[in-house]
């Protein structure tokens, strides 16, 4: 064995005697000993092992000796200045040419930095797996190569469905292509991008996040992928939307009450005057025209009444109300209309509902309004698509967690997504001129809110619509 050949080798190499003392060592092995130490030959090799590794080393060493076999194992070495090294040791017995004794050649390969990287990676991985923030890593082509469990939860997709995909599968189309282009430009030039994005979950619901995308850069400063961290804003956005909606409704309500008051009085005078003139005149032409004026006045009065209804002061009389009875009456009222004869009215009413203090007339007005809308929506679908399916309006009541829920389901024309937020706004109507004022749902919204309840709509265009009203029992005053 020519040890000279290993002198300049950059891994530490030793020749050890049977008793574990050092017979030879190369340059690279000197780092474990203080530079001032003059005599290393004759020292025990185990002196430069971490205490926890000594037994393991001795075992491996003696069995290699005994069986005359080479072996490889990992141990921890410790240099004179207490630095710790994770080393892969290779030992191999050989016969010394000098004295014919059996010695051992030991070569160590330091893998401390790899191990550090590995443990850093493990640490990162554990954090990534457990954080509540959705994380994603994409490669240079924008294909996802890692997503964490929080990402699965937020997006509604499973990991297997996402790996290899481009994140544009979450595209909500709410952002322009320039928006995404500017993001790609920023990150591909090695800079961090931060922005708010609206994505689409697997279910189609929106998923709002604040997104930070950071390029992953290797030692040579090359971008090798992208790391995205999301901060889920969905709940916040929904609350914000609701708050803005409520505030908007309230301010419209105040305005409307003012207008109604101001217009109501002169209108009453006009109406009285029209009646007087109609009575006094003999001219049939004038009489006829005044009749038309009266019709228009009636129409305006109804609008004014609706406006007042929205912001009706709460000193209206509250009565213990049986919501089921109230609903049954509303259905009877609506069934009188001509358009309802082919509609199947289905009721699933929970008989265990308690009586609740409500302004019964107003609540019935809400029910009638929603039912008439449903009838109109069914008629519109029939007219537009001439569909043969059986039309239905289903009314369901139930009680859960101290909240009474009333659901109206129809298979009418439905509401396009972009109109969903508008249906509760005043004067929003899709009905023909003179057919609807667009105040029905707005007034309903006002009435339900003043009963401390809430009203929501879900709809799929061409399929049908669902109005859901909740009356929380402990809040109804």
Ligand X SMILES: Nc1ncnc2c1ncn2[C@@H]1O[C@H](COP(=O)(O)OP(=O)(O)OP(=O)(O)O)[C@@H](O)[C@H]1O
Cβ-based nearer residue to ligand X, 86 or 309: 309
Q: Which of the ranges 190-198, 288-296, 354-362, 438-446 carries the binding residues for Mg ion, by CB under 5 A?
A: 438-446
Closest distance between ligand X and the C-beta of residue 425, in Å?
8
Closest distance between ligand X and the C-beta of residue 156, in Å?
27
Cβ-based nearer residue to ligand X, 149 or 264: 264
The residue within the footprint of Mg ion, chosen from 134, 440, 446, 453 (CB under 5 A), is 440
Count the alpha carbons within 13 Å of 129 in the hemisphere toward its beta carbon: 6
Q: Tell me which residue has its CB nearest to ligand X.
A: 440
Q: Which of the ranges 123-131, 138-146, 260-268, 433-441 carries the binding residues for Mg ion, by CB under 5 A?
A: 433-441
CA distance 230 to 209: 6
Cβ-based nearer residue to Mg ion, 155 or 373: 373
User: With contact defined as beta carbons under 8 Å apart, do 95 and 126 qualify?
Assistant: no
Closest distance between Mg ion and the C-beta of residue 435, in Å?
10
Binders in 420-459 for ligand X, by CB under 6 A: 423, 428-431, 436-442
Count of chain residues binding Mg ion (CB under 5 A)? 2
Q: Which of the ranges 146-154, 276-284, 381-389, 434-442 carries the binding residues for Mg ion, by CB under 5 A?
A: 434-442
Closest distance between ligand X and the C-beta of residue 174, in Å?
23
Closest distance between Mg ion and the C-beta of residue 285, in Å?
36
Closest distance between Mg ion and the C-beta of residue 340, in Å?
15
What is the x/- site pattern for ligand X, positions 355-374, by CB under 6 A? Answer: --------------x---xx
Q: Provide the token pair at 134.
A: 């959705």
Count of chain residues binding ligand X (CB under 6 A)? 22
Contact partner, 410, from ligand X, Mg ion, none, Cβ < 5-8 Å per class: ligand X
Binders in 287-316 for ligand X, by CB under 6 A: none
Residue 416: count other Cβ atoms within 10 Å of its Cβ. 13
Q: What is the SS3 assignment for the chain?
A: CCHHHHCCCCCCEEEECCCCEEEEECHHHHHHCCCCCCCCCCCEHHHHECHHHHHHHHHHHHHHHHHCCCEEEEEEEECCCCCEEEEEEEEEEEECCCCCCEEEEEEEEECHHHHHHHHHHHHHHHHHHHCCCCEEEEECCCCEEEECHHHHHHHCCCHHHHCCCCHHHHECCCCCHHHHHHHHHHHHCCCCEEEEEEEECCCCCEEEEEEEEEEEECCCCCEEEEEEEEEECHHHHHHHHHHHHHHHHHHHHHHHHHHHHHHHHHHHHHHHHHHHHHHHCCCHHHHHHHHHHHHHHHHHHHHHHHHHHHCCCCCCCCEEECHHHHHHHHHHHHHCCHHHCCEEEEEECCCCCCCEEECHHHHHHHHHHHHHHHHHHHHHHHHHHCCCCCEEEEEEEEEECCEEEEEEEECCCCCCHHHCCCCCCCCCCCCCCCCCCCCHHHHHHHHHHHCCCEEEEEEECCCEEEEEEEEEHHHCC
Closest distance between Mg ion and the C-beta of residue 318, in Å?
25
User: With contact defined as beta carbons under 8 Å apart, do 373 and 339 qualify?
Assistant: no
Cβ-based nearer residue to ligand X, 89 or 439: 439
Based on the shown chain and the rule CB under 5 A, indicate whether residue 373 belongs to the binding site for Mg ion: yes
Cβ-based nearer residue to ligand X, 18 or 342: 342
Residue 121: count other Cβ atoms within 10 Å of its Cβ. 10
Binders in 404-423 for ligand X, by CB under 6 A: 410, 412-415, 423
Binders in 373-392 for ligand X, by CB under 6 A: 373-374, 377
Contact partner, 213, from Mg ion, ligand X, none, Cβ < 5-8 Å per class: none
CA distance 453 to 276: 45
Closest distance between ligand X and the C-beta of residue 414, in Å?
6
Q: Tell me which residue has its CB nearest to Mg ion.
A: 440
**End-to-end Cα spacing for the chain:** 98
Q: Which of the ranges 71-79, 274-282, 372-380, 467-475 carries the binding residues for Mg ion, by CB under 5 A?
A: 372-380
Cβ-based nearer residue to Mg ion, 400 or 432: 432
Contact partner, 415, from Mg ion, ligand X, none, Cβ < 5-8 Å per class: ligand X
Cβ-based nearer residue to ligand X, 22 or 413: 413
Closest distance between ligand X and the C-beta of residue 422, in Å?
8
Contact partner, 465, from ligand X, Mg ion, none, Cβ < 5-8 Å per class: ligand X
Cβ-based nearer residue to ligand X, 16 or 370: 370
**Residues in the site for Mg ion, rule: CB under 5 A?**
373, 440
**Residues in the site for ligand X, rule: CB under 6 A?**
369, 373-374, 377, 410, 412-415, 423, 428-431, 436-442, 465
């Amino acid at each position: 064995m020519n040890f000279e050949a290993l002198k300049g080798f950059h891994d530490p190499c030793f020749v050890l005697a049977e008793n574990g003392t050092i017979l030879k060592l190369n340059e690279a092995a000197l780092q474990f000993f203080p530079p001032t130490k003059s005599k290393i030959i004759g020292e025990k090799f185990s002196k430069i092992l971490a205490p926890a590794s000594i037994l393991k080393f001795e075992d491996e060493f003696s069995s290699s000796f005994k069986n005359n076999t080479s072996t490889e194992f990992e141990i921890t070495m410790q240099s004179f200045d207490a630095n710790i090294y994770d080393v892969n040791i290779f030992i191999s017995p050989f016969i010394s040419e000098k004295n014919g004794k059996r010695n051992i050649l030991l070569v160590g390969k330091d893998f401390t930095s790899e191990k550090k990287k590995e443990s850093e990676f493990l640490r990162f991985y554990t954090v990534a797996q457990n954080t509540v923030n959705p994380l994603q890593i994409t490669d240079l082509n924008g294909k996802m190569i890692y997503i964490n469990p929080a990402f699965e939860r937020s997006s509604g997709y499973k990991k297997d469905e996402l790996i290899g995909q481009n994140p544009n599968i979450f595209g909500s189309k709410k952002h322009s292509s320039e928006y995404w282009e500017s993001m790609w430009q920023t990150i591909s030039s090695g800079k961090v991008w931060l922005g708010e994005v609206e994505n689409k979950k697997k279910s189609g619901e929106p998923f709002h996040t604040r997104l930070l995308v950071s390029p992953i850069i290797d030692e040579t400063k090359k971008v090798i992928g992208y790391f995205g961290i999301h901060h889920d804003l969905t709940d916040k956005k929904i609350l914000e939307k609701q708050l803005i909606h409520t505030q908007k409704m309230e301010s419209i309500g105040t305005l409307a009450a003012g207008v109604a008051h101001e217009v109501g009085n002169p209108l009453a005078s006009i109406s009285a005057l029209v009646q007087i003139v109609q009575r006094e005149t003999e001219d049939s032409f004038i009489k006829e025209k005044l009749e038309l004026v009266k019709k228009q006045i009636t129409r305006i009065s109804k609008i004014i009444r609706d406006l007042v209804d929205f912001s009706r002061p709460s000193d209206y009389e509250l009565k213990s109300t049986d919501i089921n009875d109230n609903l049954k009456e509303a259905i009877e009222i609506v069934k009188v209309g001509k358009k309802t004869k082919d509609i199947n009215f289905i009721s699933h009413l929970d008989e265990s509902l308690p009586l609740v203090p409500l302004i019964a007339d107003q609540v019935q007005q809400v029910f009638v309004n929603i039912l008439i809308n449903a009838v109109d929506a069914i008629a519109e679908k029939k007219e537009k698509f001439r569909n043969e399916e059986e039309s239905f309006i289903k009314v369901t009541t139930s009680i859960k967690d101290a909240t009474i829920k009333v659901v109206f389901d129809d298979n009418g024309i439905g509401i396009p997504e972009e109109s969903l937020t508008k249906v509760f706004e005043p004067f929003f109507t899709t009905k023909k001129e003179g057919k609807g004022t667009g105040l029905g749902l707005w007034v309903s919204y006002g009435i339900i809110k003043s009963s401390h309840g809430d009203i929501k709509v879900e709809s799929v265009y061409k399929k049908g619509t669902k109005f859901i009203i909740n009356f929380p029992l402990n809040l109804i005053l």
